[in-house]
Structure 1
Amino acid sequence: MGLQERITTVVSTKGQVILPKAIRDQRHWGAGTRLIVEETADGVLLKSMPVFAPTDIDAVFGSLRPTGPALSIDAMNAVIADEARRRARD
C-alpha cells in the first residue's frame, strides 16, 4: 500500500480508535464485534474473537442425547462400512 493509499485514524483522549468503515465492512465487523488485540514487532494486530471458545472432543463427547436404541457393535461396523463405501464413490 503506497503512502497516498494508507488509511489513517486518530486515538481519542479516552484511548479509543475508530476503524474506518471500509475496513469494518471488508472484515464484517459490526457494532459489538469483540476483537483480540496483539502487540507485534510491527505494531498492533486486531483479530476478531471466535464466537465460540475452542473445544476438543473430550469436552463435548456425550453431550448429545441418543435418539433411539443403542446399536450393537456389528450394526455400528455395518454403518461405518456403508459410509466408507459411500465416501469412496464421491
Structure 2
Amino acid sequence: MLTTTLSSKGQIIIPSALRAAHHWEAGTEFVIEDTGDGVLLKPRKPFPATRLEDGLGCAGYVGPAKSLEEIDLGVNEAIRRQWADEAK
C-alpha cells in the first residue's frame, strides 16, 4: 500500500510509480467523490473522439445530396427569414 501526506495547501502527491502505471501526466484532471469514509479519485474522461461518419445524418435530412453552394444559399435564406421575423 502506498501512502502520501496532505500539504498545508491541501495538495496530495500521487506517487510517481502510480502515475506512471496509469499514464497520468501533469495537467490530468480528476473527479473527486466523497465515499463517506474517504475520497475516491478518478481521472476525468474526455469526450470520445468523434468521426465525421458519426455525425453525418444527425440533422435528419432525407433527399438528394446538396452541393456546398446549395447549402450556403439555404443557410443564407434561413438567416434572412429569421432576421425578418425578429424585425417584425
Q: TM-score range by the shorter chain?
A: 0.5 to 0.7
Uncovered stretches (5+) of structure 2, i.e. residues with no partner? 49-54, 66-88
**Separation in 1 of the partners of 2:4 and 2:44?**
22
**Separation in 1 of the partners of 2:37 and 2:30?**
18
Instruction: Read off the aligned partner of 1:7 and give its amino acid letter.
Output: L
**Separation in 1 of the partners of 2:32 and 2:43?**
9
Normalising by structure 1, report the TM-score.
Answer: 0.51
Report how far residue 22 of structure 1 moved: 0.8
Alignment of structure 1 residues 20-35 onto 2, 5 Å: 20-35=15-30
Uncovered stretches (5+) of structure 1, i.e. residues with no partner? 1-5, 54-59, 63-68, 71-90
Runs of 4+ aligned residues of structure 1 deviating over 3 Å after TM superposition are none
Task: Let me know the Cα RMSD of the aligned residues.
Answer: 1.9
1:50 equivalent in structure 2:
45
Report the count of equivalent residues: 53
**Separation in 1 of the partners of 2:37 and 2:18?**
19
2:13 equivalent in structure 1:
18
